[in-house]
Amino acid sequence: MPRRLDQLAINTATLGFQWPLERIVEACARLGIGGVAPWRRELTEVPAARAARLVRDAGLTVTSLCRGGYLVHRDAAERAARLDDNRRAIDEAAALGAPVLCIVVGGLPAGTRDLAAARAQVVAMLALLREHAAGTGVRLAVEPLHPMYAADRSCISTLASALDVCDAVGPELGVMLDAYHLWWDPELACGLARAGAERLLGWQISDWLVPTRDLLNDRGMIGDGVIDLAGLDRLVTASGHTGLVEVEIFSTDWAGRDPALTLRTCAQRYLALG
């Protein structure tokens, strides 16, 4: 079946935060793109309730809010601050009408080397945040990141480990699958089957460039790298996921280009996927 642009969503980081959210929504609507995934930083300029109206009035869908986290902490004060911030993120997602809050859990607490302890902190914190999210309509999606980020961004590196966290915390939680972080995982197909439609809450795509010049800000445009994105998308579909495909590209190169060009390129490349 041919791809349609109303199946595509744009994570606003892809445009390098050059445009305000209102302009992004308008441009996506003109192209026929189906959804947007804002970042919390944009809600400081456009309150969440107003942003929800902008998206709804344009006929678009909010796929997720980026992001919650980090959850690891050195002491009680940092723990309290991070709980407060994540509770605010849940409230913002609810006001925005976002069904999913993407959670990046954090790496090792400063000055520590104990990954197991960091992961235990993540489970404990998510159990508390689950209680705050109850009844809001917002589900928490744990996003495993590539192992290169284990020390500083995410001590959860595989889909299997993210699902283990969900099992430990409760059925309300799910996972965010990002092709950039998990394309290499030989157990990915098994993980997707284990997640199923109920726990796979989001699907993000970008490409892996060879060579990669920067570990954070050199993701590739769809089709410019080595990831079999079409094949991964078929696996995601086979798992039962029916949500929009969200393009999330952190790239110094693309962030410096005209956002209108970036949007058009995303649309064209998505339609051209096999």
Per-residue pLDDT of 16-48, as tens digits, reads: 999 999 999 999 999 999 999 999 999 999 999
Per-residue pLDDT of 194-248, as tens digits, reads: 999 999 999 999 999 999 999 999 999 999 999 999 999 999 999 999 999 999 9
In our burial notation (b when 16+ CB lie closer than 10 A, e otherwise), range 9-35 reads bbbbbbbbeebebbebbebbbebebbb
pLDDT reported for residue 181? 98
Evaluate the CA torsion angle 66, 71, 74, 79 in order and state its sign.
Answer: positive
CA–CA distance, 247 with 20 (Å, rounded to integer): 18
Q: Which residues 6+ apart lie within 8 Å of 265 measured at CB? A: 221
Q: Kind of pairing, strands 61-62 and 174-178?
A: unpaired
CA–CA distance, 165 with 167 (Å, rounded to integer): 5
Per-residue pLDDT of 239-268, as tens digits, reads: 999 999 999 999 999 999 999 999 999 999
State yes or no: pLDDT of 133 exceeds 90.
yes
Per-residue pLDDT of 162-174, as tens digits, reads: 999 999 999 999 9
Q: What is the mean pLDDT of residues 79-108?
A: 98
pLDDT reported for residue 274? 82
Q: What is the mean pLDDT of residues 60-88?
A: 98
Q: What is the mean pLDDT of residues 1-24?
A: 96
CA–CA distance, 96 with 213 (Å, rounded to integer): 35
pLDDT reported for residue 183? 98
User: pLDDT exceeding 90 applies to what percent of the chain?
Assistant: 99
State yes or no: pLDDT of 1 exceeds 90.
no
The secondary structure of the chain as a DSSP string is ----GGGEEEEGGGGTT-S-HHHHHHHHHHHT--EEE-BGGGGGTS-HHHHHHHHHHTT-EE--EEEE-----SSHHHHHHHHHHHHHHHHHHHHHT-SEEEE--BSSPTT---HHHHHHHHHHHHHHHHHHHTTTT-EEEE----GGGTTTTBS--SHHHHHHHHHHH-TT-EEEEEHHHHTT-TTHHHHHHHHHHHHEEEEEE-B--SS-S-SSSBPBPTTSSS--HHHHHHHHHHTT--SPEEE---BHHHHTS-HHHHHHHHHHHHHH--
CA–CA distance, 64 with 77 (Å, rounded to integer): 29
Q: Which CATH superfamily is domain 5-272 in?
A: Divalent-metal-dependent TIM barrel enzymes (3.20.20.150)
Q: Chain-wide mean pLDDT for the chain?
A: 97
Residue 15: DSSP 8-state: G
Q: In the chain, what are the domain boundaries?
A: 5-272
User: pLDDT exceeding 70 applies to what percent of the chain?
Assistant: 100
Give 193's Cβ-side CA count (13 Å radius): 4
